[in-house]
Amino acid sequence: MDKKALIVQLAARREALGLTLDQVAQRSGLTERSVRNALGSQANPQLSSLLALADALELEFHLTPRGFGAPAGAADDPAYRPVATRVGAAVAPQGKPPASAS
């Protein structure tokens, strides 16, 4: 994802949450002008501003190598659906303790 796509996603999230620029500014610790500039069409925000905005919009960043988890040719297959790679409590069946290694 390039920076422009990231900014579009942040702006869409703000709208989805129904937050004003002032509310995002209060949550992020940035000025309203900084928020407006960071989410604008000609934006070039610093990483610290992007992190503050993501936190204010109840998002978090995850970095992965390009193409991670995608088999060769996945982009050409419209039926391709990535498989979740997170393990542990998030995907463990509820109510069952983990199997112990004996």
CATH code (residue 45): 1.10.260.40
Assign 59 a pLDDT band (cuts: 50, 70, 90). Answer: very high
pLDDT, residue 95, reads 53
Assess if residue 17 is contained within a domain: yes
Q: In terms of pLDDT, which residue wins out, 24 or 71?
A: 24
pLDDT > 70: what percent of the chain?
69
Assess if residue 84 is contained within a domain: no
As a whole number of angstroms, the distance between CA 24 and CA 32 comes to 8
Range of the domain at 18: 3-56
Split into its structural domains, the chain has a count of 1
Whole-angstrom CA distances from 74 to 37, 68, 78, 90 are: 36, 11, 8, 25
Mean pLDDT in residue range 1-29:
93
As a whole number of angstroms, the distance between CA 93 and CA 44 comes to 43
Counted residue by residue, the chain has a size of 102
Residue 15, pLDDT > 80, answer: yes
| Lowest-confidence pick of 40-49, 59-68, 88-97 | 88-97
Q: Phi/psi at 68 (nearest 5 deg)?
A: -60, 125
Assess if residue 68 is contained within a domain: no
Assign 41 a pLDDT band (cuts: 50, 70, 90). Answer: confident
Assess if residue 27 is contained within a domain: yes
Assign 68 a pLDDT band (cuts: 50, 70, 90). Answer: confident
